[in-house]
Amino acid sequence: MYVGLKMITDLVSVMKDTLITEANRLMDEHKLWLLPVVEDDKLIGYIHKEDVHTALPSPATMLSKHELPDAMSNIFVSDFLRPELITVTPEMEIEKAAEVMAQHDLPGLAVVNAAGNLIGYINRSVMLDVLVEEMGLHRGGSRFAIEFKDRPGVMAEVSNMIADMGLNFVSAASFLHDDKYILVFRIQTDDLDPVIEELRKRDYQIVGPEQFASQWS
């Protein structure tokens, strides 16, 4: 999956001369923690929600309701612009973009094309949607997992077994836990018993939450 296929294209951005109160309104309306700042369609930085909170008066302010608008009319996005240009491209694999977000502890990333124009945006909500989609949750079926030491051919072996049983795959994913791999499959069936029985005949270790309960108890 590529960033360009999942990015948000209904862009919400601001310019340097946008009032901080307007930036705050946009963030509240669209539930954003970060806004891209653009100039001539080029990304020049970001403004963060925490910066907006810093700029806005606290509930304990001594200013009157008549003085507040005048006080806020001279505070602009440019006063809090962060010129950090960590971006991704539409061609980037979305899991790599997720890694960039995690490494830099970012709530989102701007997507720019080869010319440097802002064309989209991805955030943590997008990443969660991708995770749910890749795991096939909304497509129904049943889920099982096997644990094994790293060795080639396990995915193919189990896939062929499932196909030989006349069942269709919904999704498959692998995770590394300690020194072992966990393969998670979702298949189109409401009855996993025949599948589990066949896997055990082939000496596969079926795992579920009960096998790991001691690690979070």
| 21 pLDDT above the threshold of 70 | yes
Tell me which residue range forms the domain holding 41.
Answer: 3-123
Which CATH number is 191's domain given?
3.30.70.260
153 and 109 in a common domain: no
pLDDT at 71: 54
| 192 pLDDT above the threshold of 50 | yes
pLDDT at 136: 86
Across the chain, which distance is largest between two alpha carbons, in Å? 78
114 and 155 in a common domain: no
Which CATH number is 84's domain given?
3.10.580.10
Instruction: Flag whether 42 is in a domain.
Output: yes
Percent residues over pLDDT 90 in the chain? 41
| 84 pLDDT above the threshold of 90 | no
| 15 pLDDT above the threshold of 50 | yes
Question: Which residue carries 């700042």 as its tokens?
Answer: 37
| Number of structural domains the chain divides into | 2
* Final residue in a domain of this structure, among 123, 144, 172: 123
160 and 103 in a common domain: no
Q: What angle do CA 156, 158, 163 make, to 5 degrees?
A: 90
Q: Please give the mean pLDDT across all residues of the chain.
A: 86
pLDDT at 18: 92
* Residue ranges in the chain assigned as alpha helix (H): 3-6, 20-30, 49-55, 67-72, 94-103, 124-134, 154-164, 193-201, 209-212
pLDDT at 5: 95
Instruction: Flag whether 128 is in a domain.
Output: no
Instruction: Flag whether 199 is in a domain.
Output: yes
Dump pLDDT digits (tens) for 25-69: 998 898 888 889 999 888 898 888 888 888 776 544 444 444 445
Do 181 and 172 meet the contact criterion of CB atoms below 8 Å apart? no
| 163 pLDDT above the threshold of 90 | yes
* Final residue in a domain of this structure, among 103, 123, 143: 123
Dump pLDDT digits (tens) for 92-122: 999 999 999 999 888 888 999 998 889 998 9
d(CA 155, CA 173): 9
pLDDT at 108: 85
d(CA 118, CA 201): 55
Percent residues over pLDDT 70 in the chain? 92
Averaged pLDDT, 113-134: 90
